[in-house]
Amino acid sequence: MSANKTNLGQVDTLLLAFTTTPLSGGALYEGEIMNLTGYTHISGFAYSDVASATDGLIIEQGYQPTDFLIGSTTPSLITRSVYSIIAADIDNNAFAVQIVAPFGRIVYVNGAGAQSLFRLYFGARILRGL
């Protein structure tokens, strides 16, 4: 078991991305393209004192690493799940999607203002027998 994989009884979790580094206005955070084979769900949360861009939290999934365009939020060979993050909202900042492709990453596009507080967690899970 790798250092960033946790077994919680019937739930195995793999940490895919975690950051607390604030972004400047309009800045882009791109997580690594990760192999999700064997996992069933992606989940996580985002918190910022500045609202994201509209649909600024993006979960991308594709069939090969070359499907993802680095530095772009509009590749055509992937599927995306998008969310808008409201400034300082701790009640509606979680997300979960089913894994439908072997590779995935998270992208966050900040709103116009610079953040002073930011936290982004993104993980893959295996749910068994729950």
Query: Is the pLDDT higher at 25 or at 73?
Result: 25
For the chain, domain boundaries: 18-127
Task: Write down the pLDDT at residue 73.
Answer: 63
Is 6 exposed, middle or buried (CB count within 10 Å of its CB: 0-12, 13-18, 19+)?
middle
Helix (H, G, I), strand (E, B) or coil at 67: helix
Give the confidence band of 12 by pLDDT, cuts at 50, 70, 90. confident
Class of the 18-127 domain? mainly beta
What per-residue confidence (pLDDT) applies to 1? 44
Instruction: State pTM to two decimals.
Output: 0.86
